[in-house]
Amino acid sequence: MSILFQVLPVALRAMVPVTLCAAGEIVGERAGVVNIGLEGIMTLSAFAAAIGSWGSGNPWLGVMVGLAAGAFIGFLHGVISIYLKGNQIISGVGINLLGLGVVGFGTWALWGAKSPMLDQQFWVPEVPGLGISPFVLLTPALVGLTWWLLHRTALGLRIRAVGENPVAADVVGVPVERVRLLAVVFGGALGGLAGAFLSLDWLHTVSPTLPAGRGFIALANVVFSKLNPFLALLGGFLFGYFDALAIQLASVSGFGGAIPYQFMRMIPYLATLVVVALAIGRARFPAALGQPYRRE
Amino acid sequence: MKQLTQTIFVLILGILVGAVVMAVWGHDPWGSYASLISGALGNLRAFTSTLARSLALVLTGLTFAVGVRAGLFNIGAQGQMLLGAVVALSCSLLPLPLWLRLVAALVLSGLAGMAWALPVAILKLFRGVSEVISTIMLNWVAHWLVFYLVLQKLADPVLGQRTFLVPRGMRFPVIKGELTWALAVSLAVAGFFFWFLWHHAKGYEVRAAGLNPRAATAAGISVRKAMSLALLLGGISAAWAGAIQVLGRFPYAITSDLANLGTLGFDGIAVALIGRNHPLGILAGAFFFGTLATGAAKMGLRGVPIDMIYIVQGVIVMFMAAPEALRLLRWRRPKPRREVSG
């Protein structure tokens, strides 16, 4: 049973992308915009971050590039769904497809390989003395920041107002479209950070399917969290734990090879299904979620 | 007509973005597109190969389309397609006459696709779980399940890189070149969905549920039943996409990296979008992406990575999300309507 504790360090790492994406998506959904393109945002920003680190030799600059890439895609999604009144789900699907294409094309064009490994000099270094990833410390801090932003600032109030009742917000002078765009860009930026973490810190590679469904698990985490960032942190740890357990069990070929590793790899996805099926019912989403705002 | 112009415009935009990307990376875009076209449509052999490539896309496109008609974003075609392929292949092992094995393969793979769609319907209708989340999770479960079966249970004893072959008499007969009678399956399913959606009461209920669930409920239509029906029929169609890919196309097996099944399920989304979720449009959309995919292999010979077509596909889908984006591109904008407040 010691394996249940052995996986903790991996679980903390696996917590990061699912939590960061969920925290960002919570802000977007509070403002009334769904982004199912998180998977693509992570794929693209992992790639961008790798280029940034590889090109500059400075991993932290790479992280910034990843963040900027995520924010930029968030901006595109925001323009399509807020200003052009587009379909948010279709736009998100488009982002995911774009992730597959751009990264598949780009890794071939740049490195001539499908999933090139990054040398250690391009990795984000661990926190000295602690031996853990700086992202593991950064994630709870950003979750706290997100909660503070949403519930303790004037901007947060506006964000929640435009998601709940854009007409009323408009009447009292809140610029609905600008606030929504800001929220979606913020969500994209956190997704970008998660992508940079995947390539520069955790997996040390870039590929078109790098997040392996974690962007969608983050969406499930948003449901689980009832749009509360702190519960998303708990959910992130829970999903991270299953993820880590699957990876660990798969590598030791599960119970002396009795269970094939492919079945272990199903654990996080099945766990997500079960958790969401049990959690839903309780979640209450903003009233104007998914609807473009048109002034009467 | 307006929709058709819009769609053609979006396709051209996607192709242009592709050209820019190629140019930025130092490839000759128009030369590459020329070799794409000649590789996909240049002669009869290429043409039959393109048609063969499009057949599965018709089916996964229909899966997404019937979902949208019922008001769902069903992106589970990928998992159902993988499962259908592996079930169809496994039917080679049945102790039946070869032609009966082909029939059994279609029946059983269809059932498997339906079974994979069932949890989506149950979770959606009884627990309120978004189909976007549940289908993606089931896609990954199917991926690992099929991966396991292909590697551990169905692998060719001699050749490691693929499963055993479908026996000759069980394959769809060849029409010409690479094109087989799997064509009949795709056309029949497209015809079925046309008849079902516009000439059958249940199909009418599906469309009513998608257009306005409240009005449908008020009219006595069970939205739950309509949505379930759309998910289950979609599951059959997607599974058959996998089945005809294995029974009706070279290499008549599944490669151990699942590459010959690829992302046929996800590609169906783009096919349905440019086909406006109409069976006729989907036939055209599948042919468009079939051309891109077949020709991209030719383009790959010139050093352009095949993933290029996914960039084109992604751009097309993003523009299809926002029809109003096109209005920005018009030189003459529509006059702003004066609004009278009061």
Distance of CA B137 to the CA centre of its chain: 18
What burial class does residue B152 get, using C-beta atoms within 10 Å of its C-beta: 0-12 exposed, 13-18 middle, 19+ buried? exposed
**Spatial contact of A267 and B115, defined as CB atoms under 8 Å apart:** no
**B11: distance to nearest CA of chain A, Å?**
14
**B291 min Cα distance to partner chain A (Å):** 17
Task: Report residue A220 as tokens.
Answer: 């499930």
CATH number 3.40.720 is the correct assignment for the domain at B2-326:
no
Q: Which of A57-61, A251-255, B30-34, B86-90 has the lowest mean pLDDT?
A: A251-255
> What is residue B1's predicted lDDT score, i.e. its pLDDT?
66
The CATH code of the domain that includes A160 is: 1.10.3470
The Cα–Cα gap between B244 and B261 comes to 11
Beta bridge partners of B255: B162
pTM: 0.90
In a domain, A268, yes or no: yes
Kindly indicate the confidence band of residue B49, based on its pLDDT and cuts at 50, 70 and 90. very high
Q: Give CA–CA dist B235/A53, Å, rounded.
A: 43
B217 touching A, CB under 8 A? Answer: no
The owner of tokens 């991966």 is B147
- Contact with chain A for residue B9, Cβ under 8 A: no
Please give, rounded to a whole number of angstroms, the shortest distance from the CA of B190 to a CA of chain A. 23
Q: Looking at this protein, which amino acid is placed at residue B236?
A: I
**Residue A120 included in any domain:** no
Range of the domain at A66: 3-115+130-279
Facing B129 at nearest CB: one of A84, A100, A280: A280
* A123 falls within a domain: no
Choose, out of B74, B137, B309, the residue to mutate when testing the contact with A (most A CBs < 10 Å).
B137
ipTM metric: 0.88
Domain spans, chain B: 2-326
d(CA A128, nearest CA chain B) in Å? 37
Answer whether A105 sits within 8 Å of B310, measured CB to CB. yes
The distance between the two most distant Cα atoms of chain B, rounded to a whole number of Å, is 80
pLDDT beneath 50, residues of chain A: 254
Residue-wise pLDDT for A127-140, tens only, equals 888 888 999 999 99
Give me the residues of A, 20-59, that contact B with CB < 8 A.
36, 40
CB contact under 8 A, B305 and A280: no
Residue of B nearest to A77 (CA): B318
Subunit contact B321:A86, Cβ cutoff 8 A: yes
Q: Which of B17, B27, B122, B132 to mutate to test the interface with A (most CBs of A within 10 A)?
A: B132
**A-proximal residues of B, 33-62, CB under 8 Å:** none
Q: Which tens digits make up the pLDDT trace of B117-162?
A: 999 999 999 888 889 889 999 999 999 999 999 999 999 988 888 9
List A residues 66-105 in contact with B (Cβ-Cβ < 8 A). Answer: 76, 80-81, 84-91, 93-105
pLDDT for A280 equals 61
Q: Residue B162 gets which letter from DSSP?
A: B
**Whole-number pLDDT of residue B341:** 46
Q: What is the pLDDT of residue A141?
A: 98
Q: How many structural domains is chain A composed of?
A: 1
pLDDT tens across B275-334, in order? 999 999 999 999 999 999 999 888 877 778 888 888 998 999 998 888 776 666 654 445
